[in-house]
Amino acid sequence: MEKVRGFEVAKGFEDKQIKLPIRKTKFSAGYDIEAAEDCIIPSFKKGDNPTIVKTGIKAYMANDEVLILANRSSNPKKKGLILSNSIGVIDSDYYGNPDNDGHIMFAFYNIKEEDVQIKKGEAIGQAIFQKYLITDDDDAQGERIGGFGSTNK
C-alpha cells in the first residue's frame, strides 16, 4: 500500500507505548492527539513562555497538504488550557527533519490560577489534514533545514 498521509511514532519514542491518533467517529474531522508523557502546565504569569507538550508522533502527507493542530474544545473551560499560537501548522516538509524528526508538539498556556497536570495518554488536542492552495505568482524556493520554529532560519 502506498503511503499517502498518516502518523508514525517519532524517533526517541519507539519504546514509550505511543498510541497513534485516531478519529473517534466516522464524521470527525480531527484525529485525537495524546500526550506522550506526564507534564505540569503552570498557571500563567506575565513573561512566561508556553509549556511544550510532547506527543511522540510525526505526520507524513502530500506536498500540497498541511496538518492543522487545534485545541480540544473542552480544554479552555475545563482545564484553562489555550494554544499559544491559536492553531499549529505542520508543513509536509516538517516530517523527518534533522532537528527533531518532525516530532509534533503542542504549546499551551494555562489561564487557571492553579497548575494543570497532564497525564501520559491524555487527549490534548486534535489534528486535521487539509489541502492548501498557492498563488499564481508563488515562487517559494526555500528548503526546511530544521524543526520546531525553523521556517525563517
**Domain contains 146:** no
Percent of the chain at pLDDT above 90?
A: 90
Residue 60 is assigned to a structural domain of this protein = yes
Is residue 151 situated within a structural domain? no
Q: Residue 143 — very low, low, confident or very high, per pLDDT cuts 50/70/90?
A: confident
Residue 84, domain member (yes or no): yes
Q: Specify the number of domains making up the chain.
A: 1
Torsion of CA 89, 133, 58, 18, to 10 degrees: 80
| pLDDT confidence of residue 145 | 74
The answer to whether the CB of 55 falls within 8 A of the CB of 88 is no
| Three-class HEC string of 104-138 | CEEEEEECCCCCEEECCCCEEEEEEEEECCCCCCC
Q: Is 61 a member of any domain? A: yes
Report the predicted TM-score, pTM, of the whole model to 2 decimal places: 0.90
Establish if 51 belongs to a structural domain: yes
CATH at 10: 2.70.40.10
Whether 145 is covered by a domain: the verdict is no
Domain region containing 29: 6-131
Whether residue 81 lies inside any domain: the answer is yes
Residue of 149 and 82 predicted with greater confidence:
82
How wide is the angle at C-alpha 8 spanned by C-alphas 49 and 95, nearest 5°?
A: 60
Annotate 39-62 with b (16+ C-beta within 10 A) or e (fewer).
bebeebeeeeebbebbbbbbbbbe
User: Which pLDDT band holds residue 110 (cuts at 50, 70, 90)?
Assistant: very high
- State the burial class of residue 30 (Cβ atoms within 10 Å of its Cβ: 0-12, 13-18, 19+): middle
